[in-house]
Structure 1
Amino acid sequence: MSPASVQHTISEDRTAGHAAHAESHLNRLDTCWAGPTGQLTLQDYQMQLMLLEQQNKKRLIAARQEYSYAGQRDAQSRELQRQNEAAMAEMDLMSNEGQAAASVTDADHSSYVVLHRVVCHQNGVRCNRLIWEDEPFNVVVNREVHLAGNQPVADLGAYIAARGPTAFIVYRESHCGNRAEVAPTQRPSGFPRTQGTQQVISIISRELHAAIQRISKFAPHGAAYPLGGQPPGGRLPLDTSSLVSQSPFEYLPYFFYHHLDAIRRAVNENSVTGDLGVLLSYLQAYPDPMYAKCDELFGQGLVTSETLPWLFRPNETLVCKQDNRVLAYVLRRTPVDSGSHGIYLDCWNWGYDGTNLRRKDKHLTVAVPTYDTIPIPELSVYPLRYADEQTKQQLLETGKRFWGFRNQTHVSYEGPDYRGERIYPADSRCMIDYQMYRNFHAHAEAFVFSARPATSFDKWPEEISATAEPSPSNIMLLPPGIHGFFLKEKKWVHLLVENIKPVDWNKEAFERLVLPRRIKNMVKALVLVRKSDAIDPSLNLGLKGMRSDLIRGKGGGLIMLLHGGPGTGKTLTAEVNTGQVAGPPRVISPSSSKLTVKSVAELAEMPLYNVTCGDIGTKPEAVERYLATVLHLGQKWNCVLLLDEADVFLEQRTLSDLKRNSLVSVFLRTLEYYDGVLILTSNRVGTFDAAFKSRIQVALHYPALDRPSRYQIWQNFIEMLRADGEDMDFDGIAAHMDELADQEMNGRQIRNAVTTARQLAMFEKTTVVWDHLEQAISAASDFDNHLSKPRPFTDEEWVMDTVTTVSGAVAIRNRPDGEPAPLSHGKCTE
């Protein structure tokens, strides 16, 4: 039929009879078509569909002309002419589609039916989803434009039952009620939006439903319902055994875009294709226009704002770039297009509870590209299949490092924490123990796991045991951060696994201690024997399981006391800390040095937990709770516990200070049942409570440094600086070694003198020479001389409580039997 004849026919159809027919049609629309209007002959369905579509286009043109307002005809004539021409072009296109549909065999016609569905968003419309056999066209209802057809399907169940066996229904879905202008910007089902009419396929055959279930990678229309559950929606009013009993699944083009290859493989692998073959034939005959766009762009590694939602596929791994770090997640369900806000992604990755890997929910948003076309890896989130090998290897290495620290581990850390709030110096020691972390912080964010069950399409495990070996794809999903307990700061910190390193034990440091050989051997033997879980079993040195007291649980630990004057090496004997001060000047000290300081803990390869009186507190109840916690950690982590300057808890009880008596009692009772290594240091052993003497297994006295000891300490410092490449006149300083050894200084004072000399040289931007050391020693000597004037006794005399009475001072002398004498105030003499 030529365009001229079509125009002539349109003009003739504008009669009173046609107007009456249109009015009757509008009345049916207003009542939502309460009943069926007849049956359609389906002997040659596809050809009839083509003819009906052409006829509907004619009616569309007539309706537009019939219901145009008289006063607007002249102004709208040109627009109507343009619409008529567009309708004629569409008729030609549908004619071609009809010929393509004719290639489908007659046997296929009975397997599916094509219907038109109108979704109305206009307020006040009672029926918001109407189904038609013919293509809807514009009609005016109460001066509002709506879409409607001539052949409504009021009872879909009866329609399908009368038609015969049907595998699926094809809905060509349109929106009315100002259509695109009022269409929601975010679809509840989570599918990408399409322009104009979109095609929805509803599966109603059990056979076809089962076939698609077997190859599906994710749920249709984005529903993430539980395994074995049912999709949302009511029952379809169909009473035939060939149809599924629940509401049929509806599949949009997005679903078939990600499953078309799987459907082809399934059809090719089976000689009898059945309904799945019919579905494949239809999808190939009527592909969605977005398929070609996506294939072309994605094949080049590019994406646009239009194709962005089609890029993501549920249950696949995504790469996320956050804070200069790369993480991996699994997309849980179909992405949601949030319009200008971007694409919303519901994801998960693995978290660890100390026993199992469990899923943690994560919500990501991908911004819409601002440019027309961008490379896919430039997105903040993109599928792993578009990542380069370097990114994949980085994810794999990070996951392996996390998995290697899943059990209790003593590690070294250097660098910023996870949030970048603090930078830790080299070899900062910490413990990684997720079970212990959960005991103390059960409600931390790290232990907030997903409560959503896996879907029937989810092939990922719901959890993975710590004893299992995860696959590489699961290893990639492990987080880049892990929680550890810093032994020095005594707090849990979120760490980066990339900054964690094995502990570099410095066992030679113990040999540098200036102590008699017999004392060194005793300390070494006691600590190594107590380390029953970590030493070589072939040595047969462990004491585990051996009773050391008549009452089980008592006296099982090793409690050592190191006492002596300040700077004699008590803390150095026990302490392990190899922190390096960041940047100049580098300070060498027992507690903060560039080189590893030898200690008992280093020798035995045991963590050191340093506790101070300030950490413990002074209230008896709080002290008991804190000590119980510390001793529990020390036993679980096989630590060397160091209680430095423990005089306040070990001092002799009196009748006047009941609060301090309570502290001493709590401390005594706690130590009695500790099964581990505890080292106490004190400068005033003469004031100890008598009850502590029996609880201390070994007490080592550190006398004041004599000349040979001072010579050795000076030599040790110079050798360490020489090995470190320090800018120092070593030969010139070595020439004054005898003069240095003659200076009555303790180890800490020697360290301070070396540090001061280095800082002076750094300020002058010159080499450290003897003059710098001499200047530092002179300043320290002046201070010591000033302090010694009102106190005519040495540090050693003060420690041993052999102080003579001086003006205004408290005199404490030892009794002949060795017991400390009661405190007495000396008489003031001028």
Structure 2
Amino acid sequence: MDDNAVKRSRPYNTRRNIKPKETGHTGATACSHQNAAAVNDIPAGSICEILHFFQSKLDKNGFSKWIRESPDDLVDPADNAESDRYALLVRNVKSCDSRRRTQTDSIVVQSGLLKTFLEGFFKGYPGETMSLTPLVFCPPFKPFVHRWEAFQKARNEIVDPALKGVVDLLSGVLQNELGEIMHRRNDLMSNGVITHDLLWMVFAPGDQVYCIQNDYDRVHQVEFARYMPDTGEFQVSARSIDYDGHGFGYRAQRHVIHYFADTLPVNCLKVFPLRFIRGADTVRQNVLARGKLWEAYTGYHFTEYEGVGVARHLPGEPRFNVRGRIVIDGDAFNMFNPNNAIQIRPRTKTLDDERQILATPVLRGYSLADKEWLEFNVDGVKDIVWDPQAFTSLVLPPELQSFKTLILGIADAQLRQRKDVDDSVQAKGRGFIVQLSGPPGVGKTLTAESLAQLMRVPLFILSASELLMSHKQFEARLKDIFRMVPRWGAVLLLEDAHVFVQARNSTEFGRSALISLFLEQLEHFRGIMFLTTNRTDNMDPAFESHIHLSLRYPELDVHSRRQIWKQSLTGNTAFTSEQLNEISKVELNGRQIKNVLNTSHILARVRCPEVGYEHVRTVLELTMGDLAKRSTRDRPKRRRLNDGASNPKRSAAQ
């Protein structure tokens, strides 16, 4: 190094003017500088050299500083070409344990043979990459603790002498280091207890753990477990199998075990390894059977359900006691609840036994009675028992019998997803809208119910009062309904439809705006819709072009009432023909007949097992007075509904 370079280095020497060669280190060759300026004028960082500093010894206050002198007590590093030849390196430090002089700081695996063995043995263990160079293991040597018995078994089965030699070396080091803690673990396990500081020993990655969630036995698989640095709580990160509407995959589950003193039975923890539960094999078989059933019900299913449904997307996650028909549709659940959509990783189409046992018992879908998206438990699901005679036994007056044939044809067309030939515009006019009017209890609602039963599709019942909301909410709600109905092939029943079908006027601005929105959405409706109303006067002209068929149901006559009584008493032999004729004379609608029978059943339970004529007569006299006074009087003959009752404009168009 030239003199100019030495001079240029002096302003950066905080202790002494020592040339770099005096420190025992050789700096890089200085860049050539012509006509060097004064030392104080040299810009910072302009000297192309390396200047080494060393940490000084601690002073009496425990502080050190950076100096240019090399410490006198430096020794040559142990890792060198000679140490590279050894299969294992064990680094030791002074022990804080009074019974030991040193303890292992780390174990370095250098043997390629041993690395290959460990790579196969620890396959699938998270966080460990056995192909690294160097491959270092540090206390508490969790991978070996979690698989200690399997490691010893694999070691004893080795045939290759060279491999067995290096594995025995590693085993010996680990036994010396882990002997005491493994003895403590075995002692705790033999008594079925654990301490908080050793929880990590019983939660190995890949282990199946047991817990109770929402009153159901659950099995999860451990991904990793750790102590939280801020609270000291023990967190178990696990995973279960779920369904997102397109496939199966893992979903994260997190369990926290709070600090506890002394020991605690393992099976008293909120989550614990499945092997510690009494009757583990039985629990495993039951959960596996439930997982198989759950897999069978994923996708789209229209079923019965009895049990609790939980609305996770609503504030407070309210619970509903559901008893009725539901639509199971995980894809639609995500579509209509994007903020609570199910996220899984990765995705697969089928499950084996090891994944079925991890399956959630939760099915997601829509409760038709509660009109809510809910989470259901698979144990409460059962298949619907269909009534094949529901539609054919529908009681209608003679002049409306042809309506059955017509609606059956429409239902068949809807099931085959055919387009309405009357409208060639894509996505428009694919629906069939029927208006049913007449007094209460004459079969308007039952008509829609019977058709849905025949088609084996959901019946979506909606009251007009449920749609009386703000314009924005109304439009969003109507769009959702008009998307759900064709998706499930459902029949839509809109009750009290006169709110929308009656003519608009200039004073009801809010109602007029809602009707306009309704008509706009109606253009895109696909499916079968029934509009029921007790009032057909003053219909809005804009609705007439949308209604394909308009029928008026008359009040029930004696013959119709007798049919309803007879069907309602199917299987009951306690009524004679004369008694049926007698009770049919009482002017009741279909809903009232049903109520009388329900009350008669209650009365029959007190006196005898089967409903009889006397029970019905008693209820009729209590609720309607003297039966004789209620016999049918001669009444003016009603105007029969003929083909002209259907929409004349629509008929002309056809």
Displacement of 1:523 in angstroms is: 2.1
Q: Is the CA contact 2:115–2:130 (under 8 Å) kept in the aligned structure 1?
A: no
Amino acid at match of 1:214: G
Q: Deviation per CA, 1:581-603, whole angstroms, max 9, x where unpaired?
A: xxxxxxxxxxxxxxxxxx10010
Instruction: Report what 1:561 is aligned to.
Output: 435
**Match 2:321 to one of 420, 423, 431:** 423
Q: Deviation per CA, 1:556-609, whole angstroms, max 9, x where unpaired?
A: 21212222221110101112xxxxxxxxxxxxxxxxxxxxxxx10010011111
Displacement of 1:331 in angstroms is: 1.4
Shift in CA distance, 766/408, structure 1 to aligned 2, threshold 3 Å: closer
**Match 2:331 to one of 435, 439, 442:** 435
SS class of match (1:549): coil
Structure 1 gap segments, 5+ residues each:
1-123, 128-152, 181-193, 231-242, 450-461, 533-541, 576-598, 723-729, 785-792, 801-816, 820-830
Q: Is the CA contact 1:263–1:276 (under 8 Å) kept in the aligned structure 2?
A: no
Instruction: Report what 1:202 is aligned to.
Output: 107
Instruction: Report what 1:214 is aligned to.
Output: 120
RMSD over aligned CA atoms reads 4.4
Instruction: Report what 1:265 is aligned to.
Output: 154
Instruction: Report what 2:373 is aligned to.
Output: 492
Amino acid at match of 2:122: S
**Match 1:513 to one of 362, 372, 394:** 394
Residue correspondence of structure 1 range 310-325 to structure 2 within 5 A? 310-325=201-216
Amino acid at match of 2:356: I
Displacement of 1:547 in angstroms is: 4.4
Instruction: Report what 1:741 is aligned to.
Output: 584
Residue correspondence of structure 1 range 594-605 to structure 2 within 5 A? 599-605=450-456
What CA distance in whole angstroms lies between the structure 2 residues aligned with 1:386 and 1:732?
63
Displacement of 1:708 in angstroms is: 1.0
Amino acid at match of 1:316: D
What CA distance in whole angstroms lies between the structure 2 residues aligned with 1:780 and 1:296?
77
**Match 1:552 to one of 426, 433, 442:** 426
What CA distance in whole angstroms lies between the structure 1 residues aligned with 2:451 and 2:74?
88
Displacement of 1:166 in angstroms is: 3.5
Residue correspondence of structure 1 range 328-477 to structure 2 within 5 A? 328-336=219-227, 343-366=234-257, 374=265, 379-385=269-275, 388-417=280-309, 421-425=319-323, 428-444=324-340, 447=342, 462-465=345-348, 468-477=349-358
**Match 2:461 to one of 604, 610, 631:** 610
What CA distance in whole angstroms lies between the structure 2 residues aligned with 1:196 and 1:344?
34
Amino acid at match of 2:580: M
Displacement of 1:323 in angstroms is: 4.6
Q: Is the CA contact 2:322–2:367 (under 8 Å) kept in the aligned structure 1?
A: no
Q: Is the CA contact 2:86–2:111 (under 8 Å) kept in the aligned structure 1?
A: no
Amino acid at match of 1:649: F
Shift in CA distance, 340/559, structure 1 to aligned 2, threshold 3 Å: closer
What CA distance in whole angstroms lies between the structure 1 residues aligned with 2:142 and 2:476?
60
Displacement of 1:126 in angstroms is: 8.2
Residue correspondence of structure 1 range 7-406 to structure 2 within 5 A? 157-158=77-78, 165-171=85-91, 176=96, 199-205=104-110, 207=112, 208-209=114-115, 211-217=117-123, 224=127, 244=134, 248-260=136-148, 261-262=150-151, 265=154, 268-273=158-163, 275-283=166-174, 288-292=179-183, 294=185, 298=189, 302-305=192-195, 308-336=199-227, 343-366=234-257, 374=265, 379-385=269-275, 388-406=280-298
What CA distance in whole angstroms lies between the structure 2 residues aligned with 1:404 and 1:199?
53
What CA distance in whole angstroms lies between the structure 2 residues aligned with 1:668 and 1:228?
68
Shift in CA distance, 195/572, structure 1 to aligned 2, threshold 3 Å: farther
What CA distance in whole angstroms lies between the structure 2 residues aligned with 1:201 and 1:795?
103
Q: Deviation per CA, 1:212-271, whole angstroms, max 9, x where unpaired?
A: 33322566xxx848x8999xxxxxxxxxxxx62xx8332535432334434653671534
Instruction: Report what 2:415 is aligned to.
Output: 531
Give the alignment's TM-score, normalised by structure 2: 0.73
**Match 1:482 to one of 354, 363, 368:** 363
Displacement of 1:699 in angstroms is: 2.9
Q: Is the CA contact 1:563–1:570 (under 8 Å) kept in the aligned structure 2?
A: yes
Q: Deviation per CA, 1:246-300, whole angstroms, max 9, x where unpaired?
A: x8332535432334434653671534316434213444566613434545775x6
Displacement of 1:174 in angstroms is: 6.2
Q: Is the CA contact 1:562–1:681 (under 8 Å) kept in the aligned structure 2?
A: yes
Displacement of 1:745 in angstroms is: 1.6
Amino acid at match of 2:136: P
Aligned length: 556
Shift in CA distance, 666/761, structure 1 to aligned 2, threshold 3 Å: same
Shift in CA distance, 627/287, structure 1 to aligned 2, threshold 3 Å: closer
Give the alignment's TM-score, normalised by structure 1: 0.58
Matched, 1:688 2:565: no
Q: Is the CA contact 1:349–1:477 (under 8 Å) kept in the aligned structure 2?
A: yes
Instruction: Report what 2:47 is aligned to.
Output: none
Amino acid at match of 1:170: V
Q: Is the CA contact 1:402–1:480 (under 8 Å) kept in the aligned structure 2?
A: yes
Displacement of 1:414 in angstroms is: 0.8
**Match 1:714 to one of 565, 570, 580:** 565
What CA distance in whole angstroms lies between the structure 1 residues aligned with 2:597 and 2:203?
63
Displacement of 1:373 in angstroms is: 8.3
Shift in CA distance, 338/554, structure 1 to aligned 2, threshold 3 Å: closer
What CA distance in whole angstroms lies between the structure 1 residues aligned with 2:63 and 2:79?
22
What CA distance in whole angstroms lies between the structure 2 residues aligned with 1:818 and 1:159?
100
Q: Deviation per CA, 1:736-768, whole angstroms, max 9, x where unpaired?
A: 322211112211122222334445566899986
Matched, 1:777 2:652: no
Instruction: Report what 2:32 is aligned to.
Output: none
SS class of match (1:709): helix
Which range moves more in the overlay, 653-662 or 690-699? 653-662
Structure 2 gap segments, 5+ residues each:
1-60, 65-72, 311-316, 628-634, 642-646, 650-654
Displacement of 1:171 in angstroms is: 4.8
Q: Deviation per CA, 1:378-402, whole angstroms, max 9, x where unpaired?
A: 6543334556221111221222233
Shift in CA distance, 282/624, structure 1 to aligned 2, threshold 3 Å: closer
What CA distance in whole angstroms lies between the structure 2 residues aligned with 1:703 and 1:269?
93
Q: Is the CA contact 2:119–2:130 (under 8 Å) kept in the aligned structure 1?
A: no
Q: Is the CA contact 1:168–1:202 (under 8 Å) kept in the aligned structure 2?
A: yes
What CA distance in whole angstroms lies between the structure 1 residues aligned with 2:485 and 2:111?
63
What CA distance in whole angstroms lies between the structure 2 residues aligned with 1:774 and 1:658?
51
Amino acid at match of 2:158: N
